[in-house]
Structure 1
Amino acid sequence: MPKQQDNHIYASSESVPEWAKKPILGFSTWSTQLLDNVAGYGGKNISPWFNEKNILDISNTMRQKLPRYEYINLDSGWSNTCDAYGRWMYRTDLFPNGLAKLSSQLAENGHRLGIYILPGIPAWAVDHDTLIKGTTHRIGEYTRQRKQGNVFKGMTYMPDVHDEVIQAYYDSMGDLFASWGVRYVKIDGCGPGSGDPIYPDLAPDCRETLRMMGQSFKRHDIWVELSWYLDPRYADEWATMANGARIYIDIESYSTRTMTSASRVLERFQYVARWPRAVLGPHSGFYIDLDAVLVGMTTPWNARCIDGLDSDLLRQSYIAFWALVSSVFCIGADPRLLPDKYIDMLHHPIILDIQQSGIVAVPLPFTDYWHYRQVWWKRLPLSALSSTSSSSVDHYVVCVGLFNTCYYPITMNNHSSLASWLKMEIDFKLSDVLQGTTMARITNVWTGEDIGVTIDKYTTWLEPGECQLLLLYPILD
């Protein structure tokens, strides 16, 4: 029987299940669905490139090369109709053996299946006035007003009222997804939110519907992810209905040939601090989502990296920041097309330990007007680092990330005078991040270098787009 929950997702920190005590690691399909001019990909939500066979191939690759990644999420396009009870139904042209069979095969590799839906009631169910399973009521009784259900007009409708019948509808949807073995549901186009920096709140207020949906899915231990650009003023409410929330616009550049850009990566740093840390972390089972990690996908027929980024320094900064703030971490590159050097970045054991801690880093006060010099830090118990044997007298370690976010494509040529001019000195005082001491032994996470003992202040110079990710082991003065 599914677990019973009250209207809050978890009544207390003690009731947070183990699977929700860390942000997810996985793969999601959307970024590659946009690549219409890359052979074997594209199709968006109409004719998506993925199907039963290639998802199983990806699972096999992940098991071998990315063994700590657990989720495989099918984005928009896996469904284009509903069943007789008005619930989202998979496409048999893509999944002829059904999602239950697929999830069972994924589970053999240690993977969990994810799907994509929209808030509200699908327009197909409304148009066909389907019966609500387990009741004598029909969908049409609850959608007479045709209220917009999400940011995409005409795709779903909001229930006219939210009562026990509508809860029964969403409960039956959760039951169906659970019968398929689904363990992750992304709900897109949610509001307040789902806009852009100029008009951030384009979606209707979906909170009442999302509470019901979250309650139904959590009964089956399904991770609930809300998207996109959710309003942080409602963070305490999002945390009661979901496990993750996208905090900004899509990271994809929506090119048909490349995946993202430096600006789309670096501009979202500023949005993290707007979210209150009190609602984030393992104690709540709720985490921010900076969107997909689009590092390293390389087409083998021409050995061309199509991620849209210009340097490995920037790629390391991308991965490091997502790990520092314990963002939901789903790669968007097809794992089968990742060269070994990018596999090593994406499966760096200490980087993953830092991300899996679930603790969000905070910034030190910015020291320049444009906030190009950024220092973020968080304190971790030593037990969070399964891949290091170092010790600390206070049984904790501090993780510090230093970033030069002043980056333009022209600066990728490190021999140019502009790149040299934009190289920046970045520093921090140890007393700002340590408790009761100003001395620490420091190691560089990316290089593995033991920097040695540092007293009072740490200083380094960083190229445009470069970062240093450090571990500080305090030493008593």
Structure 2
Amino acid sequence: MKSKMPQYEYINMDSGWYVHDTVDEFGRWSYRRDLFPNGLRYLSDHLAKNGHKLGIYILPGIRKEAVENNAKIKGTTHYLKELTTRKLEGNGFKGTTYMPDEHNELVQMYYDSMAELFAEWGISFVKVDGCGPGGGDQFYPYQSPDNRECLRMMGQAFRKRNIWMQLSWYMDPSYISDWVKISNGARVFIDIESYSTKTMTSSHRVFQRVTYASRWAELDDVGVHNGFYIDLDVVLVGMVVNGKCIDGLDNDDVRLSYISFWALVSSVFCIGADPRMIPDKYLHWFNHPEMLMIHQSGIMAKPIGSGNAWLNRKQIWWKRLADGRIACGLFNTHVYPFFLGISREIKFKLSDMGIETAEIKDVWAGEQMGTYTGTYSVTLRAGQCQLLLITPK
């Protein structure tokens, strides 16, 4: 990561890092000693030498094992089982944690002790899964209970320790005022992984996220001004195994669209592939300075017209950067689960962005396109995009 992707900051571990049936004496999470014989502090200190920060995955609520093992709340004479007599489900993964009967100062002390432990380990990022109201999928939504009170307490505890808190999964944008106060970001849809034995995702799953991002683009709460960002899930571009690219994407047009859209909406940008197994061509895309500048602006782009990628295959998303320039992405989302569609001309009026004349640069081609007045158009293949930097004149 240090040599191949020097501007990426966090290294996050998903659910395999912890012991699923064991907690410490205070009912807190325990790491797997078979994987980390020297402990997580040793690992985080090692990563820090390269300028990296360690992240982990957890669930909201009080661990079921903590209640069953009669664990105490650190710094008190109280037991966690006192808080969970009703055995309410604590998150969207049933049978893993309990929701407290009431959210009192003892619950806050439990979460404070958890944050204290994570800080001792050198943790800087926590993904909290099974959050609600939300979760599930488009066919069976709201699988997670309303655990906002737990999440508020966790957020309070993590902020004291300067730990980034990310909510997951398929969070409901109608609760945006809560999510902004609680956390630094939220997953907006189901997993992007296809869970195939042969490929990691699909072109359809990539463009699916355009539609769900548009629901959050309608809100004024997302972006750097609130320190809250959407998460479209991991970017699975370019993973190679035994000489074959297994990301599941149809072609490089889709791969560039994938990266470009995540940059435009300033989604949490998490690489889902081993950087040692990503070809240099794709590493160049991940490290492209103008793409990263557009992403790191922290501003969420908005669509011109409908942001529903299935009803409107000609997607145009734009945002004004702090220096007055405009970043704009044009996408032909005419892809289906099993085949590509057709080429389309995509056109927009500069007046839609509040300008009449501008100089336009193609970011990926590195070409100055010249000065345009009134309108701009381009014909794109199915799955193709064009990422522009527009300088008003």
Give the structure-1-normalised TM-score: 0.80
Equivalent position to 2:292, from 335, 348, 352: 352
| Alpha carbons 1:295, 1:307 under 8 Å: kept | yes
1:137 pairs with 2:89: no
Match of 1:20 in 2: none
Q: Give secondary structure in 1 for the equivalent of 2:291.
A: helix
Match of 1:281 in 2: 223
Distance 2:70 2:45 in 1: 32
Distance 1:344 1:288 in 2: 24
- Cα RMSD between the aligned structures? 1.3
Match of 1:58 in 2: none
Q: Give secondary structure in 2 for the equivalent of 1:257.
A: coil
Distance 1:230 1:293 in 2: 19
1:462 pairs with 2:380: yes
Specify the code of the residue in structure 1 equivalent to 2:203.
A
Q: 1:108-164, CA deviations, whole angstroms, 9 ceiling, x for partnerless residues?
A: 001000000001011110110101001110011011110001111111110111101
Match of 2:334 in 1: 406
CA change 1:285–1:369 in 2 (3 A) is closer
Q: How does 1:325-474 map to 2 (within 5 A)?
A: 325-366=265-306, 370-382=311-323, 396-408=324-336, 422-434=342-354, 437-474=355-392
Q: Give secondary structure in 1 for the equivalent of 2:192.
A: coil
Distance 1:279 1:291 in 2: 20
1:411 CA displacement: 5.0
Specify the code of the residue in structure 2 equivalent to 1:283.
H
- Higher relative CO (Cα under 8 Å, sequence separation at least 6) belongs to 1
1:64 pairs with 2:6: no
Further displaced range: 400-409 or 107-116: 400-409
Specify the code of the residue in structure 1 equivalent to 2:140.
Y
Match of 1:321 in 2: 261
| Alpha carbons 1:104, 1:181 under 8 Å: kept | yes
Match of 2:30 in 1: 89
Structure 2: tracts of 5 or more residues without a match: none
Runs (4+) of structure 1 exceeding 3 A deviation are 366-369, 408-412
Q: Give secondary structure in 2 for the equivalent of 1:267.
A: helix
Specify the code of the residue in structure 2 equivalent to 1:402.
L
Q: 1:186-222, CA deviations, whole angstroms, 9 ceiling, x for partnerless residues?
A: 0001111111112221111010000000110111110
| Alpha carbons 1:120, 1:158 under 8 Å: kept | yes
Distance 1:79 1:250 in 2: 21
Specify the code of the residue in structure 2 equivalent to 1:132.
I
Specify the code of the residue in structure 2 equivalent to 1:289.
D
Match of 2:47 in 1: 106
Q: 1:352-380, CA deviations, whole angstroms, 9 ceiling, x for partnerless residues?
A: 11111000000001499821011000000
CA change 1:201–1:409 in 2 (3 A) is closer
Give the structure-2-normalised TM-score: 0.97
Distance 1:191 1:145 in 2: 19
Q: 1:57-88, CA deviations, whole angstroms, 9 ceiling, x for partnerless residues?
A: xxxxx110111000000100100121110000
Match of 1:147 in 2: 88
Distance 1:369 1:89 in 2: 44
1:454 CA displacement: 0.7
- Greater fraction strand: 2
Q: Give secondary structure in 2 for the equivalent of 1:330.
A: coil
1:296 pairs with 2:238: yes
Equivalent position to 1:220, from 153, 157, 161: 161
Q: 1:159-191, CA deviations, whole angstroms, 9 ceiling, x for partnerless residues?
A: 111101110000000000001100000000111
Specify the code of the residue in structure 2 equivalent to 1:403.
F
Distance 1:426 1:203 in 2: 40
Distance 2:358 2:339 in 1: 33
Match of 1:7 in 2: none
Structure 1: tracts of 5 or more residues without a match: 1-61, 383-395, 413-418
Percent of residue pairs identical: 57
Specify the code of the residue in structure 2 equivalent to 1:256.
T
Specify the code of the residue in structure 2 equivalent to 1:440.
A
| Alpha carbons 2:83, 2:100 under 8 Å: kept | yes
Instruction: Say how many residue pairs are matched.
Output: 389
Q: Give secondary structure in 2 for the equivalent of 1:458.
A: strand
Q: Give secondary structure in 2 for the equivalent of 1:93.
A: coil
Specify the code of the residue in structure 2 equivalent to 1:86.
G
